[in-house]
Amino acid sequence: MTQFMLSVWHREGEELPTGEEMQEMFTAVDAFNQEVQAAGAWVFGGGLELPDTATVVQTQGTDVSMTDGPFAEAKEQIGGFWIIEAPDLDAALDWARRGSAACRGPVEVRPFQDEPA
């Protein structure tokens, strides 16, 4: 079994859903989460607050810097993620396909490094 991160990404300027559409999305994601859990693939997951709520901390020696805002000065920002367990990439991709349908956005699939023996 390998752990994969399935991260949801937003592009700057794209319209966020409101009202009824937002509600539909919540319901869909909720249902998806339950499917993952029922299959025993769930490790962790959740949605993140908007990028401007972030803070970047960097420690170099005794110096600690703190910056207001997300790390990447990019148009693309992470919106949330799932950590799942799957036997191989095909299984992880299948979860990603369904997760992308539920949250109506692109999902990046990345494997975790194996723990050193």
Structure tokens at 94: 């299948």
Structure tokens at 87: 């036997």
| Phi and psi torsions of 8, nearest 5° | -100, 135
The nearest distance, CB 66 to another protein, in angstroms, is: 33
Structure tokens at 64: 């600690």
Q: Which is nearer to another protein, 30 or 88 (CB)?
A: 88
Q: Which is nearer to another protein, 12 or 90 (CB)?
A: 90
The nearest distance, CB 54 to another protein, in angstroms, is: 27
CA distance 107 to 89: 14
Q: What does the binding site for another protein look like in residue numbers (CB under 8 A)? A: 2, 4, 87-90, 92-93, 109, 111, 113
Q: Which is nearer to another protein, 56 or 89 (CB)?
A: 89
Q: Which is nearer to another protein, 29 or 99 (CB)?
A: 99
Backbone region of residue 94 per phi and psi (left: phi > 0; alpha: psi in -120 to 50; beta: other values) = alpha
The nearest distance, CB 97 to another protein, in angstroms, is: 11
